[in-house]
Amino acid sequence: MRYSHPDVKLHAMPNAVLHSLAAIVPFRYLREPELKSLVEDSQLRDYAEGDVLIDQGDVSMNEVFVLISGSVESVDMGRTPPFRMNVVESGSFFGERACILDNPRTFRIRALETLSCLVIPGERFLRLLASSRSFAQALGTKLREGYGLFEAFDRFNSEVAQAVASGHAEVRRIAELYKQLEPALHPLAADASVIDWAALTYAVRRLPQNLTRCFVFLLTDNLPTVYASPERLFPFVPTEARHRFVYEMMSGKDMVLVRDGLSDLVDFITCLCVFAVEARKIRYRLNHPDLILALDAARPGTSEGAAGEGLLERLPFSEEERAELRRLWPQGAAERVREMVFHRQAFSLDIRKQVNNYNGRLSELWASQVGAATGALLGIRPSDFPEELEVHIVSSNTHSVSNCLNPFFALHADEILSWAGAQGLREEGWTLAFDEVYHHSRRWLDAFPEKKVELEATERACRIVRLPETVTTGIQVQLIDAGAVCGKAADPALSFGLCRSPAIIVNIDYAFGEQAEEIMRTLLLLFGSNVRSINVLGKAGALVGNRGDVLMPNAFIEQSNDAFQPLPGEDAVTAARIASGLPGRAVHSGPLLTVGGTLLQNRAMLQFYRRIWGCVGLEMEGIWYLRAVFEAEQLGVLRPGARRRFLYYVSDLPLAAGQKLSERMSPLEGIPPLYAITREVLGGLFDTSPASLPSSGQP
């Protein structure tokens, strides 16, 4: 093997280099000053026949090569004998994928003859991507369509689409396609020798609790008529971390009600894939006749089964692995292992998905219940609201908005913090003292149930009405009479100096993926021209920054077809105001990627959106909410100029090394940014801005 390390050689004919560069896509889209600047910052290198320009697996260099003259070959050195993959002729470029995607070099690149290359430093190439949108988009088209960057993603989605069309799928086949995705948050998927406990925990917590005993899942977005009251026919099967309506129809068969669109269905399937991949590793660990006999002897109802947990000690798991199993299944871990081994992850999916109607009947029933509750609260039907009655829609969670508006927490702040101190629960690091009040209030309320009664009474007095999740949407609703809460001593960071009245806040819990479009559409139809603002407060994965930062999108990109939708972003004053309440945290502005599933993202795809589109993060609902808003505005349902605000706090970093799916945010990471963006939105609704809070100590 011969490497060439040529000295920098200034080209005698710079115009010829510029001419060659200007003829190559995507460089042809650069203006002449940009081309000249790029050439000045690069090197012209000559190589002899047989010289190695790039070696396979190299991670030390990220240069991009533009072939001015001559030709090279790409060789896969991992094969025996080495295999020529391609020949690259002059007028082409190479090396950009490793630079953009931050990957090791895929092949060895070797000169076939004497040649000249313009060598662009990787950092300079990335700066060019960031500064020239036309260059970035042209390169992005080549990466996505010509280089097969999204092949595994497209194959997986095609298989799911085929399953929906045929009404049936086998998880084993889909799981193999899932592994080919190389998900960023499931880094050990392809390693058969190491169990990815973080990924397994994530999946199990989002799947039915009878997972290891179920073979068939009926996935439907609308209850069959004969099962109109499933709670009266079948036992309910809980899920820990993803609220689902699941019913055990018979031993080994569950019915799962999935939400509108495909997002919830894809989420369920990908979680099943994670479980199938990791459970297979556990099963292979126990693939021995003696171990199988021991597992069978420990089944329920046998003498061994009565002491089944002791079986774990005799199985080939490390102490750490046994601890993980017990954390995952505190009761009956040994029995779950036995079930996984004999189950063999033979899951079959019976899919009854009405893709084209987006489950409209259920969303309409949900909207009717929201409308009836609003009418009961204000004494007038939404369709008869007077012009001056303002409606503000907020998509948030079930606690931060009402907590900020309920004077209960201000009245009991000292009591809550004193109790937390006595319990040894307080810790340093809270910048805003009242955030700590919210953090400890949940445990405090659990310790003093009578205080919950008082909390609920205070909410009613403030005309805050809660609607439980209904008709399988999984979305709770809070209706808040703004006039009743305005001016009361609630969160001290909000000063209600100028209150608008009459107004109502409709706070809905997080929708899931595509479901957001139908939910927002029904709300806008319900409240029509009375809607003055749409406010989305969410959590997102970030491609820049750190956990606990804030993202302010100025556009959304829908991943399946790269549909781009600009959004008037919040101004610098808003960013500065949020940052002032979050010392040590950053506020990032840029496009957000709306994805169809968290587990479908690999590092290459995320780097693509970070480098090519300038995305600062990813989430699952933004563009679907926005589509419904634009549609309503164009159709005249929503008045022009209704404000729309999207603010997200960063909950995970999918590109960060060691990022784990099951790793929860600490209170100090998650609570301050959540309440910072909540206060920002509420301050806007009440024509005020957040006031100052004590930085530490008692509120």
Phi-psi category of residue 543: left, alpha or beta, with phi > 0 → left and psi -120 to 50 → alpha: alpha
Same domain membership, residue 648 and residue 610: yes
Distance in angstroms between the alpha carbons of the first and the last residue of the chain:
70
CATH number of 626's domain: 3.40.50.1580
Q: What local confidence, expressed as pLDDT, does residue 12 receive? A: 45
Cβ atoms within 10 Å of 81's Cβ, excluding its own: 6
Lowest-confidence pick of 194-208, 265-279, 460-474:
460-474
Task: Look at residue 237 and tell me if it is in a domain.
Answer: yes
Residues 444 and 506 in one domain: yes
Does residue 105 sit within a domain?
yes
pLDDT at res. 306: 47
Same domain assignment for residues 549 and 520: yes
pLDDT band at 693 (very low <50, low <70, confident <90, very high): very low
- Sign of the CA dihedral with 370 first, then 376, 381, and 382 last: negative
Nearest residue to 133 via CA among 505, 564, 429? 564
301 pLDDT tier (thresholds 50, 70, 90): low
- For residue 698, pLDDT beyond 50: no
Between CA 278 and CA 148 the distance in angstroms is 28
pLDDT tens for residues 559-569?
988 999 999 86
pLDDT surpasses 50 at 8: no
Say which residue, 185 or 591, is predicted with more confidence: 591
Find the domain containing 625 and state its range.
Answer: 360-375+389-685
Q: Would residue 27 count as lying in a domain?
A: yes
Q: Helix 667-685 crosses helix 433-447 at what angle (to 10 degrees)? A: 110
Query: Is pLDDT above 60 for 398?
Result: yes
CB burial of 355-379 (b: ≥16 within 10 Å; e: otherwise) equals eeebbeebbeebbebbbebbeebbe
Residue 140 is assigned to a structural domain of this protein: no
pLDDT at 343: 93
Check whether residue 277 and residue 169 sit in a common domain: yes
In residues, how long is the chain? 699
Question: Residue 658 pLDDT > 80, yes or no?
Answer: no
Claim to verify: residue 251 and residue 103 sit in the same structural domain: no
107, 161: one domain: no
Indicate whether 55 belongs to any domain: yes
53 and 197 part of one domain = no
Asked if residue 692 belongs to a domain, the reply is no
Confidence bin at 359 (pLDDT 50/70/90): very low
Does 203 fall in a domain? Answer: yes
More confident residue, 568 or 526: 526
Whether residue 601 sits in one domain with residue 466: yes
Q: State the residue for tokens 């899919």.
A: 351
Q: Is the pLDDT of residue 305 over 70?
A: no
Tokens 């201000």: give the residue.
Answer: 410
pLDDT for residue 107 is more than 60: yes
DSSP bridge pairs for 257? 220, 245
Q: Which stretch of 295-304, 398-407, 533-542, 586-595 has the lowest confidence by average pLDDT?
A: 295-304
At residue 87, the pLDDT reads 96
Q: Outline where 463-621 has alpha helix (H).
A: 482-485, 515-527, 572-580, 603-611
Please say if the pLDDT value at position 470 is more than 50: yes
Instruction: Write the CATH number for 55.
Output: 2.60.120.10
d(CA 211, CA 340): 9
Question: In the predicted model, what is the mean pLDDT of residues 451-468?
Answer: 92
Give the model's pLDDT for residue 570. Answer: 72
Rounded CA gap, 196 and 594, in Å?
A: 26
**Same domain assignment for residues 614 and 644:** yes
Do 324 and 371 lie in one domain? The reply is no
The answer to the question of residue 546 being in a domain is yes
3-state secondary structure 584-650: CCCEEEEEEEECCCHHHCEHHHHHHHHHCCCCCEEECCHHHHHHHHHHHHHCCCCCCCCEEEEEEEE
- Phi and psi angles of residue 647, each rounded to the nearest 5 degrees, phi first: -135, 135
Q: What is the pLDDT of residues 425-450, one digit of tens each?
A: 999 999 888 999 999 999 999 999 99
The amino acid that residue 590 corresponds to is G
* Pair (110, 165) in one structural domain: no
Looking at the fold, whether 584 and 485 belong to one and the same domain comes out as yes
Q: What residues have CB less than 8 Å from 590, skipping those under 6 apart?
A: 544, 551, 553, 554, 555, 614, 615, 616
For residue 39, give the nearest of 100, 93, 120, 95 by alpha carbon. 120
Which pLDDT does position 500 carry in this prediction? 62
Question: In 615-652, which positions are buried (b, 16+ CB within 10 angstroms) versus exposed (e)?
Answer: bbbbbbbbbbbbbbbeebbeeebbeeebebbbbbbbbb
- Token reading at 282: 């556990």
Instruction: Supply the mean pLDDT for the chain.
Output: 89
Instruction: Report the number of distinct structural domains present in the chain.
Output: 3
